[in-house]
């Protein structure tokens, strides 16, 4: 059974005058808010008779999948970019096979698609054949929030990389009939969801993005669910916001002061809300999704 992970605490003191709820997704064993999606994939792998799941990752989805696979006794291969990503040590410690490929995140995902085919393994990538299972897994947190907050309108702030979490949230919100405005928060200039908003999705030149140790999970030159994420945000009545590394770190420190240990990128949603509050446009309850990695 999964540990309880979405501890929702009203945090009036975080932003005076604004009712902020923390959707704390930091407590999974891997530290990643991607773990429920990974667990959904592993459950399907077992049901479909796969003994190995292959994913590409810059770090956190790989950690989540390696953790979920180890729990279920399913083998796991994590493909990481040699240019930038985590060391693979966490995934390896769970028993996963870790491969490095030249290039960045998108190259690792491409290589992992090919590896899954050549090994006859389950392709667990967010843009792979089981992406609907991933969306369902990510939707669990929405059910949990709905259960705790009820049907009143709200805004939900989510960090954006590929836009997978945003698309999944939108699907589940629509299914529940819960009117929640989705706000995606990314790194300025470093993600096409951020640079395309509010227009049509346009991929960035590969060398246009700047990765740092803080913004890394938010950086993509191609966001794998970019067009759908833009459409979801628009349809929900929300918007896309950009926060620089110093704003990520300030939000992370703010959370640490009240006892929540989130990653810098995992604090992006709060950083986006903090910046938006300064515009004086915030109305109603604000929910902030946090991730540990
Ligand atoms: C901390 C953090 N924020 C944001 C993201 C991006 O999420 P998504 O790809 O669902 O937009 C990730 C992805 O790994 C992440 O680890």
Among protein residues, the one whose CA lies closest to atom 7 of ligand 1: 161
| 60 Cβ inside 6 Å of ligand 1 | yes
**C-alpha–C-alpha distance, residues 124 and 31, integer Å:** 19
Spatial neighbors of 164 by CB under 8 A, at least 6 apart, are 37, 126, 131, 134, 135, 138, 224, 225, 229
Classify 7-33+134-290 by CATH class.
alpha beta
Instruction: Supply the pTM of this predicted model.
Output: 0.95
Mutate to test the pocket of ligand 1, among 218, 255, 263, 290 (most ligand atoms within 8 A of CB): 218
Yes or no: say if 62 and 91 are a contact pair by the CB < 8 Å rule: yes
Q: Is the Cα torsion angle 216, 141, 53, 66 positive or negative in sign? A: positive
| 266 Cβ inside 6 Å of ligand 1 | yes
Closest-lying ligand 1 atom to the alpha carbon of residue 268: 3
* Number of neighbouring beta carbons within 10 Å of residue 192: 23
How many A from CA of 218 to the centre of ligand 1?
A: 6
Yes or no: say if 94 and 67 are a contact pair by the CB < 8 Å rule: yes
| 165 Cβ inside 6 Å of ligand 1 | yes
pLDDT digits (tens, 9 = 90+) for 126-174: 999 999 999 999 999 999 999 999 999 999 999 999 999 999 999 999 9
pLDDT digits (tens, 9 = 90+) for 87-133: 999 999 999 999 999 998 999 999 999 999 999 999 999 999 999 99
pLDDT digits (tens, 9 = 90+) for 206-258: 999 999 999 999 999 999 999 999 999 999 999 999 999 999 999 999 999 88
Banded model confidence at residue 5, pLDDT cuts 50, 70, 90: very low
| 214 Cβ inside 6 Å of ligand 1 | no
- Domain ranges for the chain, please list them: 7-33+134-290, 35-131
For the residues of 60-110, what is the DSSP string, one character each? HHHHHHHHHHHHHT-EEEEEEESSSS--SHHHHHTT-EEEEESS-HHHHHH
Phi-psi region of 128 (alpha: psi -120 to 50; beta: other; left: phi over 0): beta
Residue 4 reports pLDDT greater than 70: no
Task: Look at the domain 35-131 and name its fold.
Answer: Rossmann fold (3.40.50)
| 263 Cβ inside 6 Å of ligand 1 | yes
What's the average model confidence in pLDDT over 61-80?
A: 98
| 34 Cβ inside 6 Å of ligand 1 | yes
Phi/psi of residue 161, nearest 5 degrees: -125, -90
| 32 Cβ inside 6 Å of ligand 1 | yes
> In a 3-state reduction of DSSP, which class is residue 289?
strand
What is Dmax (Cα atoms) for the chain?
56
Tell me, what DSSP letter sits at residue 189? Answer: T
Map 6-71 to HEC letters: CEEEECCCCCCCCCEEEEEECCCCCCCCCHHHHHHHHHHHHHHCCCEEEEECCCHHHHHHHHHHHH
**C-alpha–C-alpha distance, residues 168 and 157, integer Å:** 13
Which residue, chain included where needed, has tokens 């180890």? 70
Distance between start and end Cα atoms, the chain: 22
Single out the residue of 252, 187, 249, 248 nearest to residue 223, CA to CA: 187
Give pLDDT, residue 2. 32
- pLDDT > 90 fraction of the chain, expressed in percent and rounded: 86
Phi/psi of residue 235, nearest 5 degrees: -65, -30
- pLDDT > 70 fraction of the chain, expressed in percent and rounded: 96
Give pLDDT, residue 108. 96
């Amino acid at each position: 059974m999964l540990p309880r992970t979405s501890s929702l605490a009203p945090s009036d003191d975080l932003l005076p005058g604004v009712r902020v709820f923390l959707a704390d997704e930091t407590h999974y064993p891997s530290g990643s808010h991607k773990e429920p999606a990974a667990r959904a994939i592993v459950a399907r792998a077992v049901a479909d008779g796969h003994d190995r799941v292959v994913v590409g990752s810059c770090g956190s989805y790989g950690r989540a999948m390696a953790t979920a696979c180890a729990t279920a006794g399913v083998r796991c291969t994590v493909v990481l970019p040699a240019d930038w990503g985590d060391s693979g040590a966490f995934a390896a410690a769970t028993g996963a096979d870790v491969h490095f490929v030249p290039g960045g995140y998108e190259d690792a995902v491409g290589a992992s698609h090919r590896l899954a085919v050549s090994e006859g393994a389950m392709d667990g990538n967010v843009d792979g054949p089981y992406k609907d299972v991933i969306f369902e897994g990510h939707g669990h947190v929405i059910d949990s929030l709905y259960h705790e907050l009820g049907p009143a309108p709200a805004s939900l702030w989510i960090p954006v990389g590929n836009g997978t979490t945003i698309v999944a949230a939108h699907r589940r919100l629509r299914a529940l009939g819960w009117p929640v405005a989705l706000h995606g928060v990314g790194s300025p200039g470093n993600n096409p969801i951020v640079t395309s908003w509010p227009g049509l999705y346009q991929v960035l030149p590969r060398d246009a993005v700047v990765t740092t140790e803080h913004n890394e999970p938010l950086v993509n030159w191609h966001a794998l669910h970019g067009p759908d994420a833009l459409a979801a945000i628009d349809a929900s009545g929300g918007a896309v916001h950009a926060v620089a590394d110093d704003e990520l770190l300030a939000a992370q420190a703010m959370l640490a002061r009240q006892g929540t240990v989130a990653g810098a990128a995992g604090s992006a949603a709060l950083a986006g809300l903090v910046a938006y509050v300064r515009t004086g446009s915030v109305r109603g309850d604000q929910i902030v999704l946090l991730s540990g990695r």
